[in-house]
Amino acid sequence: MKLHRESKGTITVATILFLILGALAIYFLKIWSLVIIMPLLVIYCLVFWFFRVPDRSILDHKENVIAPVDGKVVMIKEVDENEFLQGKAIQVSIFMSPLNVHICRYPVTGKVIYKKYHPGKYLVAWHEKSSTENERTTVAVETLTNHKVVFRQIAGYVARRIVFYCNEGDKAKAGHEFGFIKFGSRMDVFLPLDTEIICKIGDITKGGLDVIAKLKN
């Protein structure tokens, strides 16, 4: 199983803790140490599972808006996007549980024209105000269809580390990685009002594969 580059520090700490706690359990509990070691082993394996990098064949897209993450669509509504677009947009929000792949992918193809990191709170990721009050990043891409699409990584109650690798001027390719969020979190995508929304609330998405909307050409 291929592991994400962001896994190195977390897996190192997890390995050290597992060995120390396991050794202490064996020393003090003898045969009963399995009561401690087995749950620790499950948690240790889940850490590896969280940082997995699935092998996915990413296609080229022009009008299609691709799911940026694995997760569940929890919101589709018209909102005011006041950080970059300064106007109304359709917000599509996808919630990621700790068991989802947490690689963050470009939802559209084009050119990165804006990026910004915002420190903030750690409300639960499905809270509506988390989009504007939580720790988050905002990225905007000018698409091949001459639209401006904004997307936002949002830290949740558990997630305390957001990483994004893109810079202004970079070429964005729908479905390809631009960042990572550790543990439960959310991504919002802000689309033009005339966008055809294909997904619906409750849909389970596969990042880089599923088409969630289509821009007007």
Annotated catalytic residues are: 185
Q: How far is CA 19 from CA 6, 12, 24, 39, 140, in A?
A: 21, 11, 9, 13, 44
- Token pair 């994400």 is at which residue? 4
Q: How far is CA 159 from CA 43, 73, 181, 182, 183, in A?
A: 17, 18, 7, 5, 5
CB 2 within 8 A of CB 52: yes
Residue 58 CB coordination number (10 Å): 16
CB 101 within 8 A of CB 54: yes
